[in-house]
């Protein structure tokens, strides 16, 4: 199916549009060039009956087939009604201009395809070209929204027959793009095919209530209800913070009281709550640094005020705005001067940049990245650092949201160059980086075989980069560190490294930036980084 796919194949009834062939995936460097297990688990017959997997045999959403022709008709009509709203200045003022521009002016030159890590890693599967989703959408619009004359549709090759399965495939395909926007970066016409993925997700969510449950029910809905997408309540947060304080004392001998709900503090720090659950050492490191540097800061226990995630940025404008507003309300109620976002890429983009055109009045509280502050602390000498404590190979992963999507490139590099003698870049890096493969919510989507897909396909280019960055020290006995200042990227690395056995085969650990800073603190008795896989 890889070669010579026609657009019409997307609507072919039954069967599977694309098959991921392990032999065609882009080769990885040794020892990962020979995977023993099949890269992506096959779905069971029962799963296939229950969920549509006719796109590529992988399921992120898993729509259930309609029970009757009437149900199918209603489904299609609802989608088309949503599609019309996408072009309404009332319903979609948020993205009308960039979306319209892309659909009207993309010339399908395919320059973007060669920039897409998923397309490249898949062995150039046509189905993953960044132009595929917009093309299907364009055809649906031509026939069912604009109702163009059949002859014009022939002239523009924009004919399509819409049925439930085509829409189910389109919904799945919208979740094969990590929204890294590398495709948009190379477009000479200013088009953004990644945005089209997001807008398709939006129609399904805002009109039809369809989204991966990890993003919606267990994500933004849960965050607005209990306070965090992890399900962590304010009471649980306080327990975890007690644990974190004990851990800090045990590791460093320092008694640090983490400030919580401190009225009038200078800065509200909001972490991705995933850190509390999976990587508490990141919180510990932040607390140690800010305490040592004498920063006047606090955490919040308000709804959404202790979880910087905002999954709406990937699929739903309304959910996005709700979370952004709750986060600002938390800051407002504490009376802080500014909000600082911890190490989380999408939270940076969502909270600092995207929310900038949602928050007004007293909710428009200044928001910034933690990285310039950390840079100032490290480079100013406010804390004493000994780089020799970090004398192991370190490379830096650039979270797309933080770097390509908001231009924070240099501070993290200046920190690493100061404290890591063996720092080396991946290629390409900076604003041309490759996505970790877990972007746009993929890192948290656990549906059936989707985690296999994101390790085998969407994260493949990144793994290749990491292995190549350490090619001079391949031995697993030499411990190496991938600095990833982003919780979602770390989640992807955790799963992908586990999938390939990277810790065992190459001795590569992943972690945040603040852990490296604390590890270099000269007055700590023992290393902060514990070289253990978790």
Partner 1 sequence: MGTLIIVLTYVAYVFIVVVYTVKVVAWLRMPLHIRWDLYPVIHEEHYRYGGSYYEQQEWWTKPCPKNTWRSLLYSLKDNLYMGEYYERNRLYWSFLLPWHIGFIFIITFHILCFFAAVAMIGGLDIGVVSAHVAGRIFYYVLLFTGGIAFITGTFGSLGMPIVRLADRGLRTYAMPMNYFNYLFFLLVYGSGLYAWLALDPTLDEYRTYWLGLITLTAPTLQPMTILHILLFDIFLIYLPFTRSTHYITRILAYFFIRWDDEPNLPGGKLERQIGGLLGRKVSWAGKHIPTGKSWAEAVTESGLPEVQKGKS
| Rounded distance between C-alpha atoms, residue 384 and residue 523, angstroms | 7
CB of 315 to partner 1, least distance (A): 11
Q: Are 267 and 297 in contact (CB under 8 A)?
A: yes
- Pick 368 or 498: Cβ nearer partner 1: 368
3-state secondary structure of 376: helix
CB of 31 to partner 1, least distance (A): 32
- Number of CB atoms found within 10 A of residue 342's CB: 23
CB of 157 to partner 1, least distance (A): 3
What are the distances in angstroms from CA 250 to CA 169, 253, 276, 462, 525?
52, 6, 18, 35, 11
Q: Quote the tokens at residue 235.
A: 């009471």
CB-count burial class (<10 Å; 0-12, 13-18, 19+) for 47: middle
Tell me the DSSP string of 199-221: HHHHIIIIIH----TTTIIIIII
**Strand ranges of the sheet holding 338-341, from the earlier edge strand across to the other edge:** 297-298, 267-270, 338-341, 367-369
CB of 99 to partner 1, least distance (A): 9
CB of 352 to partner 1, least distance (A): 7
| Rounded distance between C-alpha atoms, residue 503 and residue 479, angstroms | 9
- Pick 134 or 451: Cβ nearer partner 1: 134
CB of 225 to partner 1, least distance (A): 6
- Pick 162 or 226: Cβ nearer partner 1: 226
CB of 321 to partner 1, least distance (A): 4
- Number of CB atoms found within 10 A of residue 387's CB: 17
CB of 280 to partner 1, least distance (A): 26
Q: Are 119 and 167 in contact (CB under 8 A)?
A: no
Q: Quote the tokens at residue 377.
A: 């602390």
- Number of CB atoms found within 10 A of residue 472's CB: 10
Q: Quote the tokens at residue 471.
A: 């090619």
CB of 462 to partner 1, least distance (A): 19
- Pick 40 or 405: Cβ nearer partner 1: 405
- Pick 240 or 269: Cβ nearer partner 1: 269
- Pick 191 or 486: Cβ nearer partner 1: 191
CB of 86 to partner 1, least distance (A): 10
**Strand ranges of the sheet holding 394-396, from the earlier edge strand across to the other edge:** 423-424, 394-396, 480-483, 508-511
* Helices H / strands E in the chain, number of each: 24, 8
| Rounded distance between C-alpha atoms, residue 50 and residue 431, angstroms | 41
HEC sequence for 429-457: CHHHCCCCCCHHHHHHCCCCCHHHHHHHH
- Pick 236 or 359: Cβ nearer partner 1: 359
Question: At a CB cut-off of 8 Å and minimum separation 6, what does 286 contact?
Answer: 269, 271, 342, 370, 514
- Pick 218 or 238: Cβ nearer partner 1: 218
- Pick 28 or 321: Cβ nearer partner 1: 321
Q: DSSP state, 281?
A: H
- Pick 7 or 236: Cβ nearer partner 1: 7
CB of 88 to partner 1, least distance (A): 8
Q: Quote the tokens at residue 208.
A: 């039809």
CB of 453 to partner 1, least distance (A): 22
Question: At a CB cut-off of 8 Å and minimum separation 6, what does 455 contact?
Answer: 39, 437, 495, 496, 499, 500
- Number of CB atoms found within 10 A of residue 263's CB: 9
CB of 432 to partner 1, least distance (A): 8
- Pick 256 or 409: Cβ nearer partner 1: 409
* Helix ranges (DSSP H) in 2-95: 45-50, 69-86
- Pick 22 or 407: Cβ nearer partner 1: 407
- Pick 108 or 505: Cβ nearer partner 1: 108
């Amino acid at each position: 199916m890889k070669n010579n796919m026609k657009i019409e194949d997307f609507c072919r009834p039954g069967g599977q549009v694309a098959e991921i062939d392990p032999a065609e995936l882009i080769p990885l460097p040794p020892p990962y060039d020979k995977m023993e297990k099949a890269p992506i688990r096959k779905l069971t017959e029962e799963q296939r009956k229950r969920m549509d997997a006719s796109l590529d045999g992988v399921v992120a959403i898993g729509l259930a087939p309609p029970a009757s022709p009437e149900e199918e008709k209603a489904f299609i009509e609802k989608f088309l009604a949503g599609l019309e709203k996408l072009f309404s200045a009332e319903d979609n003022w948020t993205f009308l201009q960039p979306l319209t521009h892309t659909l009207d002016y993309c010339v399908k030159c395919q320059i973007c395809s060669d920039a897409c890590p998923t397309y490249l890693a898949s062995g150039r599967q046509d189905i993953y070209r960044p132009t595929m989703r917009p093309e299907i959408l364009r055809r649906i619009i031509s026939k069912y929204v604009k109702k163009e004359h059949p002859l014009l549709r022939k002239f523009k090759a924009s004919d399509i027959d819409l049925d439930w399965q085509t829409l189910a495939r389109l919904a799945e395909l919208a979740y094969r793009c990590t929204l890294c926007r590398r495709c948009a970066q190379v477009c000479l016409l200013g088009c953004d095919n990644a945005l089209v993925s997001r807008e398709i997700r939006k129609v399904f969510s805002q009109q039809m209530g369809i989204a991966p449950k990890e993003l919606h029910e267990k994500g933004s809905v849960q965050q607005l209800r209990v306070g965090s997408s992890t399900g962590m309540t304010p009471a649980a947060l306080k327990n975890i913070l007690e644990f974190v304080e004990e851990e800090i004392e045990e590791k460093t001998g320092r008694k640090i009281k983490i400030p919580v709900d401190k009225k009038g503090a200078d800065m509200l720090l909001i972490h991705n709550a995933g850190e509390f659950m999976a990587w508490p050492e990141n919180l510990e490191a932040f607390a140690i640094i800010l305490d040592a540097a004498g920063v006047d800061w606090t955490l919040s226990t308000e709804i959404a005020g202790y979880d910087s995630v905002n999954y709406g940025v990937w699929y739903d404008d309304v959910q996005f705005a709700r979370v952004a507003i709750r986060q600002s309300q938390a800051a407002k109620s504490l009376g802080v001067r500014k909000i600082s976002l911890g190490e989380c890429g999408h939270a940076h983009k969502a909270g600092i940049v995207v929310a900038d055109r949602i928050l007004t009045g007293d909710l428009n509280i200044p928001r910034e990245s933690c990285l310039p502050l950390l840079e100032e602390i490290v480079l100013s000498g406010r804390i004493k650092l000994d780089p020799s404590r970090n004398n192991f190979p370190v490379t830096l992963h650039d979270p797309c949201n933080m770097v390509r999507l908001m231009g924070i490139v240099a501070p993290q590099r200046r920190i690493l160059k100061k404290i890591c003698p063996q720092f080396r870049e991946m290629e390409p890096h900076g604003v041309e980086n490759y996505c970790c493969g877990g972007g746009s919510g993929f890192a948290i989507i656990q549906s059936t075989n989707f985690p296999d897909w994101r390790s085998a396909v969407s994260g493949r280019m990144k793994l290749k980069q990491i292995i190549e960055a350490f090619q001079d020290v391949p031995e697993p006995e030499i411990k190496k560190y991938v600095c990833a200042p982003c919780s979602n990227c770390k989640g992807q690395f955790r799963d992908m490294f586990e999938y390939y056995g990277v810790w065992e085969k190459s001795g590569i650990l992943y972690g945040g930036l603040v852990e490296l800073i604390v590890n270099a603190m000269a007055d700590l008795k023992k290393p902060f980084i514990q070289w253990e896989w978790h």
